[in-house]
Amino acid sequence: MRIVFQGDSITDAGRERPSGRGLGNGYPKYVAQLLQKDSFGQEFECINMGIGGDRTWDLLARWQTDCIDLQPDILSILIGINDTWRRYDRNDITTAAQFEHNYRRLLEDVRANTKAKIILLEPYLVDLPAKPFREDLDPKIDVTRRLAREYADAFVPLDGMLTAACLHTDPKLLSFDGVHPEPDGAKLIAKAYVAALKEIL
């Protein structure tokens, strides 16, 4: 069973180029490790196609080669933080409506041209009260949840999950900058991912 991980630097996590077989140091690596321990009676091939800095626009540009042509059995997508971040560091705005339009095109293409089951992971922030990202990201989280109801076979509510984890864990142990996971954060994401995967196998 082929799992393709798609997304930005959170997924990329320093993966090997160009094949995607090198999983990097983020949650895809820990997902693969968990699946080695408990494969649920399946054999898994994990491919990481995340690219740091990507937005939904970038996924559209590479979707055929980096998703459709791979014909995944399971496709997961974690995207959105850069659609927000570029507003603040480059004044390059992706509105929530544009984000939804782009994301919907990706998902429609998957539905039309693969047999993949879809796992959507919502974008998130870990304890960033000093940054203004919430005003832009929250509508995109709402879009992701809405699209999950329409298209996803499983959904991983990372923003709420990581917010809850911060009640009992120092946020810096989960993410050094509020976005990119530390190992503890990546392992938490992986555990939630595998639980969602188990439900759709």
Q: List, as one string, the DSSP characters of the chain.
A: -EEEEEESHHHHTTPPTTTS-S-TTSHHHHHHHHHHH--TT---EEEE---TT--HHHHHHHHHHHTGGG--SEEEEE--HHHHHHHHHS-----HHHHHHHHHHHHHHHHHH---EEEEE----SS-TTSTHHHHHHHHHHHHHHHHHHH-SEEE-HHHHHHHHTTTS-HHHHBSSSSSBPHHHHHHHHHHHHHHHHHH-
pLDDT of residue 166: 94
Q: For residue 128, name the pLDDT band (cuts at 50, 70, 90).
A: confident
Domain ranges of the chain: 2-200
- In terms of Cβ atoms closer than 10 Å to its own Cβ (0-12, 13-18, 19+), residue 166 is middle
pLDDT of residue 130: 60
pLDDT over threshold 70, residue 27: yes
> Which percentage of the chain shows pLDDT scores above 70?
99
Of 87, 83, 100, the C-alpha closest to 8 is 83
pTM of the predicted structure, to 2 decimals: 0.96
Average pLDDT on 172-183 reads 95
pLDDT over threshold 90, residue 21: no
- In terms of Cβ atoms closer than 10 Å to its own Cβ (0-12, 13-18, 19+), residue 52 is middle
Q: Which residues contact 99 (CB under 8 A, 6 or more apart)?
A: 56, 80, 83, 140, 143
Average pLDDT on 63-91 reads 97
Q: For residue 161, name the pLDDT band (cuts at 50, 70, 90).
A: very high
Give the best-scoring range by mean pLDDT among 6-20, 119-133, 186-200: 186-200
Q: 2-200 falls under which CATH superfamily? A: SGNH hydrolase (3.40.50.1110)
